[in-house]
Amino acid sequence: SASLERSGTNQSFSADPKRLKNLFQRQKEHHLTVRQSTAAERKAKIQRIRDGIRARRQDIRDALYADFQKAPEEADLTEVKAVMDEASFAIKHIDSWMASESASTPPLLMGTSSEIRYEPKGVVLIISPWNYPFNLTLGPLIAAIAAGNSVIVKPSEYTPHSSRVMREMIEELFDEREVALVEGAVETSQALLDLPFDHIYFTGSPEVGKIVMRAAAEHLSSVTLELGGKSPAIVDATADVDDAAAKIAWGKFTNTGQTCIAPDYALVHESRHDAFLKRITHYISEYYGQTDEQRRTTPDYARLVNEKHFSRVQSLLTDAVQSGATVITGGQTDADAQYIAPTVLSDIPSESRIMDEEIFGPILPVVPFSDLNSAIDRINEKPNPLALYLFTRDEAAEHSILSRTHAGGTCINEVLLHYMNPHIPFGGNGHSGIGMGHGKYAFREFSHARSVLRRSYGSKLMRYIYPPYGSLSRRM
């Protein structure tokens, strides 16, 4: 990371705790101005991000290609469009999100009125991962701005081209006392975490999530943690196997499996197991080509982000195969190109590492189950997943799964798409995260709900609540 740290283009800030503290201090001093910004001013800022992205569409595609050969069309859908949609949604709803909510008054408090005001938390920190660098950095930034915060953003060092495009854009669009982007790796992140931010919005792994929460505890900063985990996809005896295979193949191999809500493994009813393996192999061929040569050269299939992640995923694969798993399709790897073929495994020994760690790469273990209860037990033995997918035609199965498992979010007969609906919250549950993102939910995450009770002069004083208490006991 030291060399990346040096090659980061933002020489002015990287990992220099003094300069970071100075930046933080200047944001703090200027914050009263940002705090009082009107809805129109916040909309204008978000509109600037929209325009900035529109103007850099090609740079964004190029950066993502340079970082890990992400297909331009996929970049358009999962990065550019995702951020543009988040921005439009915020612009459309910001007035209603900012509006105070009036609250009812219980009889005891007659003569008072109460409201809830959504106020900015203050100076906030956003730390983001590399897998969707634009989406997972600018999405939370839009919400933070909508809520009236001053923001320091620290994207991942693993996607330096994307970070550079975002830094140039933010430097051009914002006064750094309002929004600043700091490039850098772990030391930079830790130097930032030493500062008393009013909120920290972290997206990344559960391990680093714990480090962030420990650092936040020092200042009692509030946190949003968008983490990961092993998200299961269940295909039950009543499911349309062909449909499930088409969708799970897409959800798994998009971004080469480097998606926090990708189906990590499939639990397939034993009566559908073989058919599922056939259909998913068919769809992999349809999406990425019949042969390994075609899958290696298709422009639609990205690489593992770096050597470290390549080696990690490759070793999960090797371990599984050595301990007896069968490769149904794929299995090829190429270290020089950081390529791992879209791979489906069956006959997984239950103690293998691939069933323990989040895979975060293009390998789908398929595990049969005999009855839904055993599938539920298997899921409940592990930490709460970020997503859980169920393919079924059986309402009772749906009810069973929803009422007996925990997950951040769930799709029935779909994968990933819950992420794309801004009207519902996105987030984890325990080990897969704390707090919520998207739309109003992210706005609230970056806001403090301040309760205000008001008594206007002239209305009756509640004398009876003061001592001597004789009259109070008569009223209660």
Which residue has tokens 């800030």?
13
Nearer of residues 246 and 387 to ligand NAD, judged by Cβ:
387
| Sole binder of ligand NAD in the list 386, 390, 401, 442 (CB under 6 A) | 386
User: Within a 13 Å sphere around the CA of 213, how many CA atoms are in the beta-carbon half?
Assistant: 17
Of 129-137, 173-181, 241-249, 453-461, the segment contacting ligand NAD by CB under 6 A is 129-137
Which residues between 151 and 170 bind ligand NAD (CB under 6 A)?
A: 154, 156-157
Evaluate the CA torsion angle 218, 221, 226, 229 in order and state its sign. positive
Query: Is residue 205 at the binding interface for ligand NAD, with CB under 6 A as the rule?
Result: yes
Tell me if 433 contacts ligand NAD by CB under 6 A. Answer: yes
Mask 352-371, x = binds ligand NAD (CB under 6 A)? ------x-x-----------
Between the CA of residue 428 and those of 202, 241, 261, 383, what are the distances in Å?
Answer: 12, 28, 10, 11
Structure tokens that stand for 345 in this block: 């495994």
Please state the closest distance from residue 431 (CB atom) to ligand NAD, in A.
Answer: 11
State CA 351 to chain mean position distance: 29
Residue 308 token pair: 């470290």
Told to check if 127 binds ligand NAD by CB under 6 A, we report yes
Query: Of residues 8, 52, 120, 129, which one binds ligand NAD by CB under 6 A?
Result: 129
Question: Of these residues, 157, 178, 183, 260, which one is catalytic?
Answer: 260
Integer Cα distance of 324 and 100 in angstroms: 60
Nearest-10 crossing angle of helices 39-55, 57-68: 60
Residue 186 interacting with ligand NAD (CB under 6 A): yes
**What are the C-alpha distances in Å from 100 to residues 117, 119, 145, 441?**
5, 9, 18, 15
CB of 157 to ligand NAD, least distance (A): 5
Kindly state whether residue 226 participates in binding ligand NAD, applying the rule CB under 6 A.
yes
- Check residue 204 for interaction with ligand NAD (CB under 6 A): yes
Which amino acid type is present at position 447? S
* Coil, helix or strand at residue 94: helix
Stretch that binds ligand NAD, among 3-11, 87-95, 150-158, 323-331 (CB under 6 A): 150-158
Written as six digits, the tokens of 281 are 């192999």
Give the one residue of 190, 306, 323, 332 binding ligand NAD; rule: CB under 6 A: 190
> Is 247:415 a contact under the CB 8 Å cutoff?
yes
Q: Quick check: 203 binds ligand NAD (CB under 6 A)? A: yes
CA distance 262 to 73: 19
Q: Smallest distance from the beta carbon of 260 to ligand NAD, in angstroms?
A: 3
| Least Cβ distance, residue 312 to ligand NAD (angstroms) | 10
Residue 301 backbone zone (phi > 0: left; psi -120 to 50: alpha; other: beta): beta
Quick note: the x/- pattern for ligand NAD over 393-432, rule CB under 6 A, is: -----------------------------------x----
Q: Which of residues 291-320 bind ligand NAD (CB under 6 A)?
A: none
Q: How far is the CB of 175 from ligand NAD (least distance, A)?
A: 24
Residues in contact with ligand NAD, shown as a per-residue x/- string from 231 to 270 under the rule CB under 6 A: -----------------------------x----------
Query: How remote is the C-alpha of 44 from its chain's centroid?
Result: 25
Residue 115 vs residues 32, 46, 442: alpha-carbon distances, Å: 22, 27, 21
Q: What angle do CA 386, 388, 393 make, to 5 degrees?
A: 165
For residue 227 the two structure tokens come to 């983490």
Region near ligand NAD per CB under 6 A, out of 88-96, 204-212, 338-346, 443-451: 204-212
Instruction: Collect all residues with Cβ–Cβ distance below 8 Å to 390 and sequence separation of at least 6.
Output: 233, 234, 236, 397, 398, 401, 410, 411, 412, 413
Residues 32, 177: contact at Cβ < 8 Å? no
Q: Is 260 a catalytic residue?
A: yes
Position of minimal CB gap to ligand NAD: 228
Choice from 8, 52, 139, 228 touching ligand NAD (CB under 6 A): 228
* Number of residues counted as binding ligand NAD (CB under 6 A): 27
Report residue 292 as tokens: 């390994």
**Site residues, ligand NAD (CB under 6 A):** 127-131, 136, 154, 156-157, 185-186, 189-190, 203-205, 208, 211, 226-228, 260, 358, 360, 386, 428, 433
User: Looking at the annotation, which residues are catalytic?
Assistant: 226, 260
